[in-house]
Amino acid sequence: MENCLDAIASSLSQQSSQLTRYLTEQPAVEGILQTYGDDSQENSEWTEATTVLNVYLPFPAEHMLMEKIQKILELACYQFGLRVLPNVMQKQGWDCPESVELSKWAKLFGRKGNLVWRGSSKPSKELLQSIAAIRHTAVHRLRTNSAGLERFLADAENLAGVLGDDTFTQAISQLRLNTQATLIDLIRNKQFIQLQLEKAQEDIARQRAELNQKEQEILLHLASEDRKYRDQAGERLERALGRMGDLRVASIGQDAVLESVDDIEYDPLSDDDSDFDHEEQFEDCSEA
């Protein structure tokens, strides 16, 4: 019975551990950027969802998204270079969007302090670092959680805006909306699973407590039964020993017999009888 209870408790514990690992396991590489800047432009639904927990897209979809962001930004930067930096483009031999890495554009924009940006808003150092990280993440296939993806998309949208091309800005905005919708669904699903886990853990804790109580009751019952059986066994042995009596010698020259203690009369030998026996033995020795 005790082994059965242990097996049930072990099974419940394993099920709880497996579900917990499934929900809390995270890839080795977290989002590579810290959240910064003003998030007031984000819609309330997305903000509410992301403040609860972070999730991960399936990596094929995530990698495709990062490559798409990188490609759109490289196109936007190339078009900006043709308009604003034609001499640099010709000198470097950049004759197509694919000829320039996104990280090179970020470095170039950081060095060129006299460029004219839409709205006279120069990209910040943090924004350009984030843009360079988009390329690094896409090329090296780094896992990024929902917060990191949202930051990349927001920064990509900001850069496309200051580059002054509405087509690329709208394309990234649509990517951002589609990604947010998918991530919100994932977050809500994970919240639902978390609630299921909490309920399952409560049930398991209750069942474990019931099993522990049942085990204690069984142990106490078995201990009581064991004491009763020992007492009964001891009483049976005592009765058997009482019926056997003691082993005593009935008289000299006779075999030992088993008599009841109550039936044996104590009859000590007198001193006269002892002397008489010695005299007979002495006479026998003289005659010999």
Contact 203, 158 (CB under 8 A): no
Contact 155, 69 (CB under 8 A): no
> Which residues in 118-187 belong to E strands, given as ranges?
none
Q: Which of 2-11, 136-145, 223-232 has the lowest mean pLDDT?
A: 2-11
Read off the pLDDT of residues 83-132 as tens digits, 9 standing for 90 and up.
999 999 999 999 999 999 999 999 999 887 667 677 656 678 899 999 99
Contact 32, 133 (CB under 8 A): yes
Query: What is the reported pLDDT for 244?
Result: 83
Read off the pLDDT of residues 245-288 as tens digits, 9 standing for 90 and up.
766 655 555 555 555 555 545 455 555 555 555 555 555 545 54
Read off the pLDDT of residues 198-245 as tens digits, 9 standing for 90 and up.
999 999 999 999 999 999 999 999 999 999 999 999 999 999 888 887
pLDDT band at 178 (very low <50, low <70, confident <90, very high): very high
Query: What is the reported pLDDT for 284?
Result: 53
**Between residues 200 and 46, the one the model is more confident about:** 200
For the chain, the distance separating the N- and C-terminal CA atoms, rounded to the nearest angstrom, is 83
Q: How far apart are CA 71 and CA 25, in angstroms?
A: 31
Query: What is the reported pLDDT for 35?
Result: 37
* CA angle (40, 30, 156) in 5-degree steps: 45
Q: Model pTM?
A: 0.61
**Between residues 270 and 179, the one the model is more confident about:** 179
Read off the pLDDT of residues 51-80 as tens digits, 9 standing for 90 and up.
667 899 999 999 999 999 999 999 999 999
Query: What is the reported pLDDT for 124?
Result: 84
**Between residues 48 and 176, the one the model is more confident about:** 176
pLDDT at 143 > cutoff 50: yes
Contact 38, 125 (CB under 8 A): no
Percent of the chain with pLDDT over 90: 56
Phi-psi category of residue 82: left, alpha or beta, with phi > 0 → left and psi -120 to 50 → alpha: alpha
